[in-house]
């Protein structure tokens, strides 16, 4: 049986992708909470939706099927008859101060149609939406001016991160920050109950029930047996080693992982904010991850004897990539042409976060015009999308897309 999830490269022709249209959750940001919710500004909803629709249409015009997280989530809950069970879990993970508030929110949300309930959970629940009175001390003493019972999830349109396709399976991720931790619960239910995926042989290589963190922006599928995973602000070295154990033991097809260490900071939160694959032998790179000699700490994990993992340390990333991909030359294309001002500016707005929809064909933000011209100078087909509001969330085309099916590369 062919798995409904099938991704064996970063660049094979994209057939199906998971998106999330930004909704009211991005309007439920305020200056007080946006930093904690991992935003640097507040998007203008009609415009961010227009830009996102343009992104989706661009993919569709290029033959890609676009499916939506919010729709699949509601369909999964109905198909599995698990609306209440899901809601219980979501409430448990939402940091509610009391069981009476839990009960009140449960009643409020369960009374909605499933799609409305899903959209509402994503958007967040304001304190003025339900008539809630309680004499419990925790309620009486909780902050009166905090406007939400349930926080919004404005980062959901970055579908790349809460889960990541990998061969005929995926990782469903334990996210680093509380602001994003509930997001991966949607994917857990989609994989378990949506008729498109349930009982169809999709391997969950790593579930969200882990202490160690991993996010999809760090997970790159270089080919059908080599992965690159960032050791970053969002993905720990320990979780990479745990994943390696599973992938190597379960005959996943993957037998080599390059763990690439990148700086731990907001601008470079995931590997794909500084490094993406464009073609068999071409990558974008932000020079900020290289030292003066162009080196990057890279650890190669491979299966050893008796389930041990052999780890070798290299710093010559370019040579390592050339060797594992078996190409005669390998080109690292610097974002912003490596200029001291343009590179950090365009990287901040996701100039290196390209989404390959076929070998040598990428979707990028139009605002990164220097990087886009550099890519074109290498003969790469660059398809630009509008990006004034989308970029405020600090993610680009790769972050906003979770490939579900890609064509295998020709050998």
Give the separation between CA 344 and CA 368, rounded to whole angstroms: 11
Give the separation between CA 384 and CA 369, rounded to whole angstroms: 9
CB of 179 to ligand CIR, least distance (A): 8
Which of residues 394, 402, 403, 404 is near ligand CIR by CB under 6 A? 394
CB of 234 to ligand CIR, least distance (A): 7
How wide is the angle at C-alpha 90 spanned by C-alphas 86 and 96, nearest 5°? 145
The region, left, alpha or beta by phi > 0 then psi within -120 to 50, assigned to residue 142 is beta
Which of residues 22, 124, 230, 393 is near ligand CIR by CB under 6 A? 393
User: CB under 6 A: which stretch of 85-93, 130-138, 319-327, 392-400 binds ligand CIR?
Assistant: 392-400
Give the separation between CA 375 and CA 278, rounded to whole angstroms: 9
Cβ proximity to ligand CIR: between 398 and 406 the closer is: 398
| Token pair belonging to 146 | 């905090």
**Contact flag: residue 270 with ligand CIR (CB under 6 A):** yes
Which backbone phi and psi does 168 adopt, to 5 degrees? -90, 35
For residue 14, CA distances in Å to 118, 269, 406 come to 27, 25, 4
**Contact flag: residue 399 with ligand CIR (CB under 6 A):** yes
Contact pattern from residue 322 through residue 341 relative to ligand CIR, giving x for each residue in contact according to CB under 6 A and a dash for the rest:
--------------------
Based on the residue annotation, tell me whether 399 is a catalytic residue of this protein.
yes
Give the separation between CA 83 and CA 114, rounded to whole angstroms: 7
**Contact flag: residue 38 with ligand CIR (CB under 6 A):** yes
Cβ proximity to ligand CIR: between 351 and 393 the closer is: 393
- Specify the pairing of strand 298-303 against strand 309-314: antiparallel
Question: Coil, strand, or helix at residue 244?
Answer: helix
**Contact flag: residue 217 with ligand CIR (CB under 6 A):** yes
Output the residue with the shortest Cβ distance to ligand CIR.
217
Which of residues 23, 162, 287, 395 is near ligand CIR by CB under 6 A? 395
CB of 148 to ligand CIR, least distance (A): 18
Candidate list 240, 399, 400, 402, residue with the active-site label: 399
Q: Contact at 8 Å (CB) between 135 and 87?
A: no
Cα radius of gyration rounded to whole Å, the chain: 21
User: CB under 6 A: which stretch of 158-166, 291-299, 300-308, 310-318 binds ligand CIR?
Assistant: 158-166
Q: Contact at 8 Å (CB) between 119 and 186?
A: no
Cβ proximity to ligand CIR: between 38 and 258 the closer is: 38
How wide is the angle at C-alpha 184 spanned by C-alphas 95 and 39, nearest 5°? 70
Which of residues 8, 9, 94, 155 is near ligand CIR by CB under 6 A? 155
Cβ proximity to ligand CIR: between 194 and 392 the closer is: 392
For residue 366, CA distances in Å to 343, 356, 397 come to 15, 15, 11
**Contact flag: residue 365 with ligand CIR (CB under 6 A):** no
Give the separation between CA 55 and CA 328, rounded to whole angstroms: 34
Which of residues 6, 52, 83, 160 is near ligand CIR by CB under 6 A? 160
Cβ proximity to ligand CIR: between 38 and 150 the closer is: 38
Binding site for ligand CIR (CB under 6 A): 38, 155, 158, 160-161, 180, 217, 269-270, 272-273, 393-395, 399
Give the active site residues. Answer: 399
């Amino acid at each position: 049986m062919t798995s409904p999830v099938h991704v064996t490269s970063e660049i094979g022709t994209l057939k199906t992708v998971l998106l999330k249209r930004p909704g009211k959750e991005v309007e439920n940001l305020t200056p007080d909470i946006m930093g904690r919710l991992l935003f640097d500004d507040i998007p203008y909803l009609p415009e961010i939706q227009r830009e996102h629709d343009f992104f989706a249409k661009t993919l569709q015009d290029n033959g890609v099927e676009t499916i939506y997280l919010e729709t699949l989530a509601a369909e999964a809950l109905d198909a599995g008859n698990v609306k209440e069970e899901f809601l219980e879990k979501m409430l448990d993970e939402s940091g509610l101060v009391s069981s009476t508030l839990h009960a009140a929110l449960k009643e409020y949300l369960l009374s909605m149609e499933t799609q409305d309930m899903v959209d509402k959970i994503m958007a967040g629940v304001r304190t003025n939406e339900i008539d809630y009175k309680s004499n419990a001390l925790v309620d009486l003493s909780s902050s009166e001016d905090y406007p939400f019972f349930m926080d919004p999830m404005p980062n959901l349109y970055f579908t790349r991160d809460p889960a990541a396709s990998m061969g005929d399976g995926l990782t469903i991720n334990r996210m680093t920050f509380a602001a994003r931790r509930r997001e991966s619960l949607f994917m857990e239910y989609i994989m378990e109950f949506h008729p498109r995926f349930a009982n169809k042989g999709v391997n969950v290589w790593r579930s969200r029930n882990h202490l160690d963190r991993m996010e999809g922006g760090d997970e790159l599928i270089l080919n059908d047996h080599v992965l690159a995973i960032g050791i970053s602000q969002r993905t720990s070295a320990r979780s990479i080693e745990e994943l390696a154990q599973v992938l190597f033991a379960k005959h996943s097809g993957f037998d080599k992982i390059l763990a690439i260490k990148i700086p731990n900071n907001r601008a470079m939160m995931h590997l794909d904010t500084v490094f993406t694959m464009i073609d068999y032998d071409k990558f974008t790179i932000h020079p900020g991850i290289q030292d003066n000699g162009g080196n990057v700490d890279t650890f190669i994990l491979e299966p050893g004897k008796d389930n041990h993992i052999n780890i070798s340390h290299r710093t010559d990333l370019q040579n390592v990539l050339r060797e594992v991909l078996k190409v005669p030359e390998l080109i690292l294309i610097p974002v912003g042409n490596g200029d001291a001002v343009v590179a950090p500016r365009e990287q901040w707005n996701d100039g290196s976060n390209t989404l390959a929809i076929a070998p040598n064909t990428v979707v990028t933000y139009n605002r990164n015009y220097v990087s886009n011209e550099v890519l074109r100078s290498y003969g790469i087909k660059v398809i630009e999308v509008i990006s004034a509001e989308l970029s405020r969330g600090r993610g680009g085309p790769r972050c906003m897309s979770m490939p579900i099916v890609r064509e295998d590369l020709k050998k």
